[in-house]
Structure 1
């Protein structure tokens, strides 16, 4: 009996132990599943935030590009209006001088005509009939007759010259008025365009601030820099494949290249940007709207907006040599245009999300970046 009881108690203990182990395993499994679900939810939340962040950043970049395009259009119109205004002012100066000259001519012609009329009047006091009846010398009479005829012809010529001068003067006065009206219209247009430009630049500045806030963290900034450099690499490679530039390159121009713009050197080649990313070119601070000049003769192979670099222009010099100019306010040359050293190709700006007006300048040789400073004059 005792033996049966012992076996029963042993079996009962074993059963209880199994039940306890099962309950522990069940509790652990439930806890693990709960933790796994929590991790999955956190991953999903982070992915959702990242997607929303990227969507907002892309939207801001599109706004920035649209603003840069409008600023470029306004800048070109202002530049064109300023050029036309300069031509108009030069024409006004020429017409003003001409008008003064004609005025002097009319004064002289009027004085000459007055003298001729006075002489003719005095000549008329002793007409030929009286002289003939008085028995004067016939030869003397002939001379007086010819003098009278010459006097009449001179008077007629003086009258005609004065009339022609007056007509030219009136025409000049009309042209001068037209040019001055044009000048007034151009000045008004310039003032309006400059107001529009300032408004667009303010909007662009605000968008750039929002973008910088979006990539404020080191990881986000680094990711954006790497993505921008990759985009630039792809664009340059594509442009190089499209272009066939048969020029000598810049190998023999080291230390002789034209500075694209004069200003303050803000960033040097090789200087750290973020993490392991360094500057592949130099950044030169300059006044907004300053002309950017081609460093060397070549052919434009890229002229467009590129994220991170704003309005960018690339010039191929042949032999795998290329110069790049970024952050511009306006691009003055199109793809396919041939440029000479020192020729204006763009205007300094702050496109691409920059905080201050500057120029990004880069030199590539067979696709590899190199320090621009030793190449510049």
Structure 2
């Protein structure tokens, strides 16, 4: 569409210049002057076509840069999310280990006191009592009783020693595990800080790229052409995706008015409202904070998970029977093609990819390839 627009503009420009040449020809008789004017027109037409072509190439290059930057941001955002989860898990594990360590320390104190008492009893009631029995001339039954008592005392003492040794071993093990977990926790935190700094740099570079793209398409006609081309690219990708992944499900028909909102926020653009002078929104845009989880509106299979020009990082879920839901403008994608998803399962993170000015989610529902008003299908 953009190429057709550029050719049309070139022809219009040529027509205007050519008319000017004919008017000049009416007032100038020399044939050479006429020839010079015509040559000048052709030269100007050629220059204009080259300029338009160069602008188109630069726009394509800028979008390629935007794609790389937003894919990098998406990868970093996924890593940050995973690191945050790992850090939370490590903190929980360390807290649990420290609690177990405190219990073992109290257990050790009790076992130590018990062992001291057993040792005192053993030495008070042990060999000295045996000697007193022999000197007193008491019978063998008393000696047997004292022998059994001494053996029991020795066993209790040995068990107390074994228990204390095991407690010390467990304490040493807990201490080592806590130290390892704390080391890993610090490594994860360091990586998280590095990723956060890198994502800031990528966001800054992205902002410059988006500004350059907006300057290239600042005219109404160029902007309209870009929007139309973006829609055509989306149609093409969806057609290929639908053929690649066959989904056997019941579709969305039974769930009209009961589908889950993919994200909660203010609706910035409604279905059918004006997007440009000639185009209407085929979905809705929901404003939300960057990094917020985008949830699947219903069970289905991911058939597209990629960057698309104008829509940024997008996930498309096939629900069967020709019903699909679209989630665009994301900061990061959490699912891949072929993944099965359940209602409410996170599939992406809210962002502003695709050159958007503010954070939000582009959400669309299609039935047999035709966009429908998604808001009427969502739970009220």
Does structure 2 retain, via aligned residues, the 8 Å contact 1:205–1:355?
no
Distance 2:101 2:111 in 1: 15
Identify the residue that residue 78 of structure 1 maps to in structure 2: 80
Structure 2 residue corresponding to 1:359, chosen from 334, 351, 361: 361
Shift in Å, 1:138: 3.5
Shift in Å, 1:36: 3.4
Identify the residue that residue 375 of structure 2 maps to in structure 1: 373
Identify the residue that residue 318 of structure 2 maps to in structure 1: 316
Identify the residue that residue 47 of structure 1 maps to in structure 2: 49
Identify the residue that residue 3 of structure 1 maps to in structure 2: none
Report the TM-score, using the length of structure 2 for normalisation.
0.90
Look up the SS of the partner of 1:305 in the other structure: strand
Of stretches 87-96 and 116-125 in structure 1, the one that deviates more from structure 2 is: 116-125
CA RMSD of aligned residues (A): 1.8
What pairs up with 1:286-305 in 2 under 5 angstroms? Answer: 286-305=288-307
Identify the residue that residue 233 of structure 1 maps to in structure 2: 235
Identify the residue that residue 276 of structure 1 maps to in structure 2: 278
> CA-to-partner distance for each residue in 1:40-60, whole Å, 9 max, x for gaps?
233222212211111111111
Does structure 2 retain, via aligned residues, the 8 Å contact 1:247–1:319?
yes
> CA-to-partner distance for each residue in 1:83-140, whole Å, 9 max, x for gaps?
2212211211121111111111101100110111111122147331331221234333
Identify the residue that residue 18 of structure 2 maps to in structure 1: none
Shift in Å, 1:206: 1.4
Going from structure 1 to structure 2, the CA distance change for 1:41 and 1:183 (only over 3 Å counts) comes to same
Look up the SS of the partner of 1:303 in the other structure: strand
Distance 1:80 1:347 in 2: 13
> CA-to-partner distance for each residue in 1:54-95, whole Å, 9 max, x for gaps?
111111101100101111111121122112212211211121
Look up the SS of the partner of 1:322 in the other structure: strand
Distance 2:238 2:250 in 1: 19
> CA-to-partner distance for each residue in 1:286-343, whole Å, 9 max, x for gaps?
1111111111111111111111111111100000000011111111111111111111
Distance 1:25 1:173 in 2: 101
Identify the residue that residue 343 of structure 1 maps to in structure 2: 345
Kindly indicate whether residue 159 of structure 2 is the aligned counterpart of residue 157 of structure 1. yes
Distance 2:275 2:35 in 1: 44
> CA-to-partner distance for each residue in 1:125-173, whole Å, 9 max, x for gaps?
7331331221234333322221111111100110011001101110110
Identify the residue that residue 130 of structure 2 maps to in structure 1: 128
Identify the residue that residue 94 of structure 1 maps to in structure 2: 96
Structure number with greater Rg is: 1
Distance 1:198 1:78 in 2: 13
5+ residue gaps, structure 1, are 1-22
Look up the SS of the partner of 1:314 in the other structure: strand
Shift in Å, 1:25: 9.9
Identify the residue that residue 19 of structure 2 maps to in structure 1: none
User: How many residues end up aligned between the 2 structures?
Assistant: 355
Distance 1:319 1:29 in 2: 70
Distance 1:234 1:176 in 2: 54
Report the TM-score, using the length of structure 1 for normalisation.
0.90
Kindly indicate whether residue 61 of structure 2 is the aligned counterpart of residue 65 of structure 1. no
Of stretches 35-44 and 358-367 in structure 1, the one that deviates more from structure 2 is: 35-44
Identify the residue that residue 11 of structure 1 maps to in structure 2: none
Look up the SS of the partner of 2:275 in the other structure: strand
Distance 2:178 2:190 in 1: 18
Look up the SS of the partner of 2:361 in the other structure: strand
Distance 1:24 1:103 in 2: 109
Shift in Å, 1:31: 5.5
> CA-to-partner distance for each residue in 1:198-240, whole Å, 9 max, x for gaps?
1101111111111111111101110100110111111111211
Distance 1:285 1:25 in 2: 62
Distance 2:254 2:90 in 1: 43
